[in-house]
Each structure stands twice: as C-alpha cells, then as structure tokens.
C-alpha cells in the first residue's frame, strides 16, 4: 500500500481502493463491541493478550466501522481494559460495505488459523528465546503446546499421504490433494 504524508508527523496509509487509513487514539469506552461477534475470548486468552500488550506494547490497532463498532480486535480491547488502559489505537474502515465488514470479521480470525508451523524453524526460534531467558508464555502458548500442534499437523499430513498412496495403488489413478 502506498504512503502519502499529510504533514511531518504520522504518515497516512492508503487502502487498496485509495481510501485514507490513519491510526487514531480513542478512549476505550468509545470503541463499541460487535454484539454478534462469533469469536469468544475466554479469561485465560484475555490474560495472555493483556500480558502481550504489557510486554510488547499495543502494536496492532483495532479496526472499527464508521459507527465505532469493532470489526477486529475484540480480544485486544478486553486485554487493554484488563490493564486499565484509558485509550486504544484505532483504524476506521469506512470504505467497506456492510457485507464486506461481516465477511472481514470472520476472515480476519479464520484465515490466521489456516496457517501451519514449520517445526524446525519454530524449534529454532523457541530455543533462541529460551537461551535469552525470555518468558515463552508471552508467545501465546506454552512451547510444548506449540510443538504438539506442529506434530499433530504433521501426523495428519503423513496420514493423508498414506491414504493417497493406497488409493493410487488401488485405482491406478493419481489422486489429488483433498486439502
């Protein structure tokens, strides 16, 4: 995305359709939760988000529509409230249609879950953090949980490959990936 400077202070970003995107600091009570938010935030996760904000800062602004209703960032707002923060960084997305806002709320949460961990790189990163005496719980999950997730995903991929090989042998036809 292109950046256009308004003045010598913060740059204004341009969205894909040319709309200005600016980060604003809003009083936390001005940010309205979306009543039909399909994503839950249990207390343990809110505590993790609060710990992340405390350690790293509030680095990912929340997204709101033209009325100030949350599009993305419900958990970050809850974490900020837990810390007693009076304000949060906000980006208003006024260029999206109602349908796009609803779809983006879902996509923003779901698409990230579709990613996989690269086990060797994850192990390396966790080992470096451990050597630096960094609190691994601030990564959002215990290191052993992250590695267990990687291993279960790899086991599923190996199982799928075995099924595909068996199907190819039985049918004599190449099988396409079904995932």
**Confidence (pTM):** 0.72
SS3 state of residue 129: helix
Contact 37, 70 (CB under 8 A): yes
The conformation of residue 164, written as its DSSP 8-state character, comes to H
78 pLDDT above the threshold of 90: yes
- Which has the higher per-residue pLDDT, 164 or 116? 116
- Rounded to whole angstroms, how far apart are CA atoms 80 and 75? 9
pLDDT of residue 1: 43
CB neighbour burial string for 24-36, b if at least 16 within 10 angstroms, e if fewer? eebeeeebeebee
Query: What is the band of 127 on the pLDDT scale with cuts at 50, 70, 90?
Result: confident
Query: What is the band of 154 on the pLDDT scale with cuts at 50, 70, 90?
Result: low
50 pLDDT above the threshold of 90: yes
**Average model confidence (pLDDT) across the chain:** 82
List, in sequence order, every residue forming a beta bridge with 23; answer none if it has no partner.
91
Q: Is 15 exposed, middle or buried (0-12, 13-18, 19+ CB in 10 A)?
A: middle
CB neighbour burial string for 39-67, b if at least 16 within 10 angstroms, e if fewer? eebeeeebebbbbbbeeeebeebbbbbee
- Rounded to whole angstroms, how far apart are CA atoms 122 and 134? 15
121 pLDDT above the threshold of 60: yes
Query: What is the band of 46 on the pLDDT scale with cuts at 50, 70, 90?
Result: very high
Q: Between the CA of residue 82 and those of 71, 76, 89, what are the distances in Å?
A: 20, 10, 16
């Amino acid at each position: 995305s292109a950046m256009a400077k308004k003045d010598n202070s913060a740059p204004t970003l341009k969205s894909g359709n040319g709309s200005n995107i600016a980060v604003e600091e809003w009083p936390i009570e001005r940010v309205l939760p979306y009543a039909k938010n399909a994503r839950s935030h249990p207390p343990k996760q809110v505590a993790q988000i609060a710990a992340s904000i405390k350690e790293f800062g509030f680095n990912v602004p929340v997204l709101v529509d033209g009325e100030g209703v949350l599009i993305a960032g419900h958990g970050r707002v809850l974490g900020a409230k837990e810390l007693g923060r009076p304000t949060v960084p906000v980006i208003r997305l006024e260029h999206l249609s109602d349908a796009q806002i609803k779809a983006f709320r879902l996509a923003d949460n779901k698409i990230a879950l579709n990613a996989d961990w690269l086990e060797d790189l994850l192990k390396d990163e966790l080992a470096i953090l451990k050597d630096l005496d960094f609190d691994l719980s601030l990564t959002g999950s215990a290191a052993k949980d992250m590695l267990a997730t990687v291993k279960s995903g790899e086991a599923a991929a190996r199982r799928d490959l075995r099924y595909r090989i068996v199907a190819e042998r039985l049918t004599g036809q190449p099988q396409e990936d079904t995932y």
